Amino acid sequence: MADLIRYPSPNWNERPAGVKPDTVIIHYTGMETGAAALNRLVDPAAEVSAHYLIEEDGRIFALVDEAKRAWHAGVSFWRGRENLNHNSIGIELVNPGHEFGYRAFPRAQITSLLALLDGIAARHDIKRDAYIGHSDIAPDRKIDPGELFPWAQLAAKGYGLWSTLAGHDKTVIAERGQKNANVMKFNKQLGIVGYHIGDTQSFGATTEFAVRAFQAHWRPEAVTGQIDIGTAAVLEDIAGQSGQ
């Protein structure tokens, strides 16, 4: 792994008593340059931070000690817990994001990320299914790290779940506005994966946001917010693996 570059951020506080990191959350910076993102993460006025930032060339900046609570998750929910800052480690990957020219994550960046995850896994008890994206914990307001992030590559190393099902069939079987047994089933499965679905009876805005986030993570070839046959198959598979 590339040597860590110590670049302390003042934007942190203590984790709640007795709470240890058990989740890793991946972000992209969504800014035009890595330098601009790094400056923001250490600016007291910005009141945001992450534990690490990884540049596109693989350099890793250590911003906040893993024992401390960084401010990267914001309003968030995953598997019945709110405010994921309390129990997570946040990693920012330099990428301009969808606003400034979203692009694939370079090999050097992902190589450094995997090495960093090796170290995190050695230091903390993080389950295989607890490596997730910012959009997973806040699907109504975040879309990072997006559909180009190589989740399958991480899962191959034991960092996250993945489905080997093809999931290519894009025939829509459920969409916003519907209310039926299929919708109830899909909402239940989304909840098992970890998403917050308040109204499990209907396919409303909350379900649509969750489906988009799920697709960006596990079925990235069609991020539509609709459930098609392929998405349904992959969703059932990932729900079945969740909790591992």
- In angstroms, the CA 92 to CA 38 distance is 9
Catalytic residue among 14, 47, 92, 236, which? 92
Q: Answer yes or no: 92 catalytic.
A: yes
Tokens of 29: 């910076």
Phi, psi (deg, nearest 5) at residue 130: -105, 25
- In angstroms, the CA 43 to CA 103 distance is 26
Cβ(70)–Cβ(85) below 8 Å? yes
Q: Which residues are 81's β-sheet partners?
A: 78
Q: Which residue pairs, CB below 8 angstroms and at least 24 apart, start in 40-44? A: 41/9, 41/11, 41/92, 42/7, 42/8, 42/9, 42/10, 42/11, 43/11, 44/10, 44/11
- In angstroms, the CA 139 to CA 242 distance is 18
Name 242's Cβ contacts closer than 8 Å, sequence gap at least 6: 129, 161, 192, 193, 194
Looking at the annotation, which residues are catalytic?
92
